[in-house]
Amino acid sequence: MAMTEAAQGRMIANPIQTATRILATAGVITIIGGAFLTLSDVGLRALAGTTIRGLNEVLILCVGVAIAACLPSGVARSVHLTLDLVTERLPERAARAFALFGVLALMVFLLLVGLELFKLAMTYHTRAQATIILSWPIAPFHFAMAGLVLLCVPVQAVHLGGAVLSILRKDRGIQRLVQFLPALLLLAVVALVWANALTMLPGYGWLRGLTAGVAAMVFFGGMWVMMMAGVPLAAAMGLVGFLGIAVLLAPGPAGTVTGGETSRFLTSETLAVLPLFLLMGSFASVAGLSSDIYRFAHELLRPLRGSLAHATIAGCAGFGALTGSSLATAATFGKVALPEMDARGYNPALAAGSVAAGGTLGSLVPPSTALILFALLSEQSIGALFVAAMLPASLAIALYLVAIKVVLTLRPDLAPEGSPIDWPVLWQSAKRCTGAVILFGAVIGGMYTGVVTDTEAASVGAVGAFLFALLRGRLGGGKIWSVMAETTTTIALIYTLIFGAVIFSFLIAFTQLPALLSGWIVALDFGPLMVIAMLVLVYLVLGMVMDSYAMMVITVPIFLPLTAIYGFDPIWWGVLTVICVELGMITPPFGMNIFMLRAIAPKTRLGTIYRGVMPFVLVDILKIALLVLFPAIALWLPAQM
């Protein structure tokens, strides 16, 4: 009997996924080991007034290799962000052609990054560059990073082979050729750029002769065309950025930017907090800290009508403080809270709206991956952003609770009445929450007081969450491997996105688009509040079609200089940006959190979810207005640091 196409694909894909998962596991273990060493260094500094000599400069290189080790697993599992608004509506034959184009584009991008990293490693080797304190050669670490990124290419080639076979088996003759044309055209363009043969193309002089602003708009439009064609966002930004720099300067500088910027972010001490906080969230979830928070919130708010809806908001806030992810918070509490509220007769719209809105708190309550990403893109202090978000996050929680209270006052039939507090049960649930409070207090309190740096605080969070999970016996039965798999997936997703974003951001900065846009808006003589209103509206529109990470990497390099012209504080704008991005995640008709809930609860109609989120959208708009009118809500606490 002939083997099916799906079975053949599994025979190839399963061993690759297993091998890359082992590699990624080694990377995650390295990151955890680095966190333990960092805590040892903090302990030595506090108790003996000494430190481990040269630890930071070696650890950051090891973390760079560990992160690169996670990338092949992410590629094997196809965890990249794409926009499918257009491609999912195409006929099957056209969809296959665009799928091939997207898979090939990502492979070319990974090859480009890997080769440029290898060139950079060769440069370090030739110059015999070494670390400052220990004089360790850095070339071997960079060769390892380059090799691991290049390993992604054959892994992606398996996906490419699947896309090619799909076309060959289902189409014939000229139809096949037509479907291969977009992919062949992409290969031709990249090859011409790589060979510095662009000057042979008709119209090349016209491209290079474009004014900076027009060139920026051309390349920006090209990026959107690629994204709409189903190309992963990382590849769309990275390839267009590389091609743009090559056209405006030369292929050599374009390659230098690609390798240099990628290496800089892989070995960034600031960015090293990201995988540590991701590990903290994963271990905290496995340890049961999220369910502890939810149970305590429910018992505390039991007297209120709709106590489970209120508890969902409070629980999402607590869970967000441990995970820092909007989608993860919505997904986790959707699985826990929706069945509970359904069993107790809650209106489906209220239940869905509470979970979707509560999920947005995951990116606002510190420590937040969205705030970390803004800090990296804007070169602002992570600690200052975390502290600045504390009061706005408290305001968000309060407004959401008020929204539920108002809705249930107007429509008491939407949820059951409350019941008296069971004090012994409340006390027991409060004791169970001690771990979450200690963990959150150690991380945020340590940064606020200056006792630990951002990276050290992230290490405290990761190690603390790991120890809680270990002591509670929650890491058996393969749970630790699921934590590592979850962390690997998110690391691969975010870092490939960052690789593309930094290359494209360099192109945008080179064309001076932010300055040109700022000058144009200033010439229109809009007031500061009108400018902020325009930017908020842009985020609401983008939130209908894009993930929060993608929105930020595209907009922050453009919007931040504009707000600076009007005298707005970058820390304040960072908090407001995250709020706007997360509001876009629940704004109908295409908010990402809405579709996350739809996937979790397929029986819940989209119209029901839309009705449920509208009260929260309204209070979010009120929250933005309050933050704009009273910037001290975000700036007072950082001023006390």
3-state secondary structure 579-617: HHHHHHCCCCCCCHHHHHHHHHCCCCCHHHHHHHHHHHH
Tell me what the mean pLDDT of segment 319-329 comes to: 67
CA separation for the pair 188, 99 (Å, rounded): 18
Model confidence at 4, in pLDDT bands (50, 70, 90)? Answer: very low
Better-predicted residue by pLDDT, 231 or 208: 231
Maximum mean pLDDT: which of 54-63, 180-189, 311-320: 54-63
- Radius of gyration over every alpha carbon of the chain, rounded to an integer in angstroms: 25
Give the alpha-carbon dihedral of 385, 258, 223, 497, to 10 degrees. -40
**Highest mean pLDDT: which of 74-83, 330-339, 375-384, 406-415?**
406-415
**8 Å CB contact between 273 and 446:** no
Q: Is residue 79's pLDDT more than 60?
A: yes
- Above 90 in pLDDT, residue 376? no
**Is 13 a residue whose pLDDT tops 60?**
no
Q: What is the pLDDT of residues 104-118, one digit of tens each?
A: 889 889 999 999 999
Q: Which two tokens stand for residue 65?
A: 């290799």
Checking if the pLDDT of 122 tops 90, the result is: yes
Closest to 223 measured CA to CA, from 237, 242, 244, 212: 237
Query: 137 forms bridges with which residues in the sheet?
Result: 130
Q: What is the pLDDT of residue 211?
A: 61
Convert 273-293 to b/e letters by CB count within 10 Å (16 or more is b): bbbbbbbbbbbbbbbbbbbbb
| Residue 87 reports pLDDT greater than 70 | no
Alpha helices in 195-232 (DSSP H): 204-208, 212-228
Nearest to 575 by CA among 583, 567, 586: 583
Top pLDDT among 632 and 160 is at 632
Token pair 């012209």 is at which residue? Answer: 565
Least confident piece of the model among 70-74, 330-334, 348-352, 501-505:
330-334
Split at pLDDT 50, 70, 90, the class of 180 is low
User: Across residues 4-22, what is the average pLDDT?
Assistant: 64
CA 477 vs. chain centroid, Å, equals 29
Min mean pLDDT across 250-259, 264-273, 392-401 is at: 264-273
Say what the pLDDT of residue 208 is. 56
Structure confidence at residue 595 (pLDDT): 67
- Reduce the DSSP state of residue 545 to 3 states and report it: coil
Centroid of chain to Cα 233: 12
Average the pLDDT over 369-394 and give the result. Answer: 86
For residue 113, what pLDDT is reported? 93
pLDDT value of residue 117:
94
Does 626 have pLDDT greater than 90? yes
pLDDT band for position 8 (cuts 50, 70, 90) = very low
Find out whether 389 and 371 touch, Cβ atoms under 8 Å. yes
Q: In this model, does residue 351 exceed pLDDT 80?
A: yes
Task: Give residue 104's Cα distance to chain centre.
Answer: 23
